[in-house]
């Protein structure tokens, strides 16, 4: 069975985070097929794109248009019960005989059988220990006479001919497949039985967990895209095995137990790096994947206008545009138009959908960005926006929250700051007690975060 590997971007995912996960998971699965074709004995992995929040509107639109399955929404990568359970456990009908149960246990060299009713739903467990105790009980005599020996044999035959339901243990620990392993360990260790059962929502047994299972050092495997800082990573990342990182941001504080493949380039988009990997390995990019990757390059580089944009980004954008048969810039404009009307967007979406935490000394700050073609519609809501920013600053104890409202046509950003704005004022030479227009500011990473973090 293939081992799952989660390919996931950062919290509050933007389009680049979504696209990089979708594109890189597709590439890795194609490379896995290539590996298995030449080496059928190779360890098999299946790569699953995931996300840590709602889909941005442009991501949802492009994925839907090209009929690509959205990344799975996940909350954490802590080890779950389903990650360590033995799947498809051997079962027996409650109406079968104990001797049939014994034969199954011996045939499969296991200690417990799942007992099901006539509809196949879980009823309980029967173990080798239970059958052995019944066997010993039937042989319990001190007499050595022929008559008594025959009586014991008859009792033994009658005992093992009884139906399984007569010996089924129903007081068994029941676990949910999505439950955290660390929460289940104490219950299992305190149980009289060595086994727990895992049931689905309809009452069918889908797995068994033993004490030996929980003793194994199991970690979920992940590939991080578009980030490499713990504050932006999926919950439980310290318990997971990070296999690769694909990113275009500064190197953060993610640490690994072993050397890994870490691709970190000073480019405008993680989707650019993913595109380069397709070309390096000679894997054909389907039209839908090309559209997803191109949309991310366009949004992350603000249609190739951001100062983070490089010639490499432009080359890869043109390559993808040729695949989908559209002009890159015109496609980028259509992607931005997928976003909802700024006057109607929920304020939490406007502020938080593309936001990142940063550590500045002992302080934590939040820098959010909202790209728009209707700047005034956003500014008309400034009081509402400030109220929401003030609320999240207090809830998360941020030193300040900075929102960049970036006008992609005017090529600049309106700064809105809530909290201790003096550091922003000093570094940028402004008075941000009120919102300020900053011409030429398009990149949060290169023009804003880098200056604040380097001060």
Domains of the chain: 3-79+219-336 (3.90.1640.10), 84-215 (3.10.580.10), 347-454 (3.10.310.20)
Lowest mean pLDDT, pick from 62-71, 147-156, 365-374: 147-156
pLDDT at 133: 74
Most confident of 164-168, 359-363, 436-440: 436-440
424-438: average pLDDT:
94
pLDDT range class, residue 149, cuts 50, 70, 90? very low
151-180: average pLDDT:
76
Examine the pLDDT at 140 and tell me if it is beyond 60: no
Strand pairing of 3-11 and 45-52?
parallel
Examine the pLDDT at 257 and tell me if it is beyond 80: yes
Examine the pLDDT at 317 and tell me if it is beyond 90: yes
114-126: average pLDDT:
94
pLDDT range class, residue 135, cuts 50, 70, 90? low
As a whole number of angstroms, the distance between CA 196 and CA 313 comes to 53
pLDDT at 153: 42
195-215: average pLDDT:
92
pLDDT at 154: 45
Examine the pLDDT at 148 and tell me if it is beyond 70: no
311-317: average pLDDT:
98
pLDDT at 160: 59
**Listed residue (64, 71, 58) closest to 296, CA to CA:** 58
Long-range CB pairs of 388-393, under 8 A, 24+ apart, other chains included: 388/347, 388/348, 388/351, 389/351, 389/416, 389/418, 390/418, 390/419, 392/351, 392/352, 392/366, 393/366, 393/418, 393/419
pTM of the model: 0.81
140-168: average pLDDT:
57
pLDDT range class, residue 147, cuts 50, 70, 90? very low
67-79: average pLDDT:
97
Most confident of 35-39, 138-142, 302-306, 339-343: 35-39
Phi and psi angles of residue 406, each rounded to the nearest 5 degrees, phi first: -95, 120
pLDDT at 134: 63
313-318: average pLDDT:
98
Lowest mean pLDDT, pick from 75-79, 170-174, 217-221: 217-221
336-361: average pLDDT:
89
pLDDT at 299: 95
Examine the pLDDT at 180 and tell me if it is beyond 90: yes
Lowest mean pLDDT, pick from 20-29, 99-108, 145-154, 228-237: 145-154
118-138: average pLDDT:
81
Compute the CA torsion angle 230, 75, 247, 56 (nearest 10 deg). -130
Examine the pLDDT at 218 and tell me if it is beyond 60: yes
Examine the pLDDT at 150 and tell me if it is beyond 50: no
pLDDT range class, residue 114, cuts 50, 70, 90? very high
As a whole number of angstroms, the distance between CA 294 and CA 322 comes to 10
pLDDT at 277: 99
371-396: average pLDDT:
95
% of the chain beyond a pLDDT of 70: 94
pLDDT at 312: 98
Query: Could you tell me if 46 and 29 are in contact, meaning their C-beta atoms sit under 8 angstroms apart?
Result: yes
248-274: average pLDDT:
96
Examine the pLDDT at 278 and tell me if it is beyond 60: yes
313-330: average pLDDT:
98
Q: How far is CA 369 from CA 97, 189, 417, 444, 451, in A?
A: 67, 49, 12, 7, 16
Q: What is the mean pLDDT of the chain?
A: 91
Examine the pLDDT at 152 and tell me if it is beyond 60: no
Examine the pLDDT at 155 and tell me if it is beyond 50: no
């Amino acid at each position: 069975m293939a081992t799952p590997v989660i390919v996931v971007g950062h919290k509050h995912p933007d389009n680049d985070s979504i696209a990089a996960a979708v594109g890189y998971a597709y590439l890795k699965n194609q490379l896995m097929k290539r590996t298995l074709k030449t080496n059928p004995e190779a360890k098999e992995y299946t790569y699953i794109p995931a996300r840590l929040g709602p889909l941005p509107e442009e991501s949802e639109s492009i994925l839907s248009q090209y009929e690509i399955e959205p990344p799975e929404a996940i909350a954490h990568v802590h080890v779950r019960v389903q990650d360590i359970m033995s799947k498809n456990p051997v079962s027996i009908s409650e109406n079968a005989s104990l001797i049939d149960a014994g034969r199954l246990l011996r045939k499969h060299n296991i200690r417990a059988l799942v007992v099901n009713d006539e509809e196949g739903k879980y009823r309980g467990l029967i173990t080798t220990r239970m059958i052995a105790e019944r066997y010993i009980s039937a042989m319990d005599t001190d007499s050595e006479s022929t008559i008594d020996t025959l009586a014991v044999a008859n009792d033994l035959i009658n005992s093992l001919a009884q139906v399984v339901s007569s010996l089924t243990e129903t007081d068994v620990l029941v676990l949910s497949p999505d439950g955290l392993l660390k929460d289940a360990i104490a219950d299992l260790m305190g149980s009289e039985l060595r086994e727990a059962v895992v049931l689905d929502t309809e009452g069918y047994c889908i797995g068994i967990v033993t004490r030996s299972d929980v003793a194994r050092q199991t970690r979920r495997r992940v590939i991080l895209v578009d980030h490499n800082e713990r504050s932006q990573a999926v919950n439980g990342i310290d318990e997971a095995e990070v296999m690769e990182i694909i990113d275009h941001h500064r190197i953060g504080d993610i640490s690994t137990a072993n050397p890994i493949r870490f691709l970190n380039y000073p480019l405008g988009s993680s989707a650019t790096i993913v595109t380069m990997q397709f070309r390096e390995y000679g894997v054909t990019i389907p039209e839908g994947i090309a559209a997803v990757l191109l949309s991310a390059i366009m949004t992350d580089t603000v249609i190739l206008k951001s100062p983070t944009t490089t010639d490499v980004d432009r080359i890869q954008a043109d390559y993808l545009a040729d695949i989908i048969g559209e002009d890159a810039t015109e496609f980028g404009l259509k992607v931005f138009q997928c976003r909802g009307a700024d006057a109607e967007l929920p304020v939490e979406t406007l502020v938080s959908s593309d936001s990142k935490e940063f550590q500045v000394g002992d302080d934590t700050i939040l820098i959010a960005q909202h790209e728009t073609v209707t700047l005034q519609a956003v500014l008309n809501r400034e009081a509402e926006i400030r109220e929401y920013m003030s609320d999240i600053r207090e809830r998360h104890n941020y030193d300040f929250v900075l929102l960049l409202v970036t006008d992609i046509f005017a090529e600049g950003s309106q700064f809105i700051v809530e909290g201790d704005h003096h550091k922003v004022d000093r570094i940028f030479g402004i008075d941000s007690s009120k919102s300020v227009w900053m011409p030429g500011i398009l990149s949060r990473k290169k023009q804003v975060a880098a200056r604040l973090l380097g001060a």
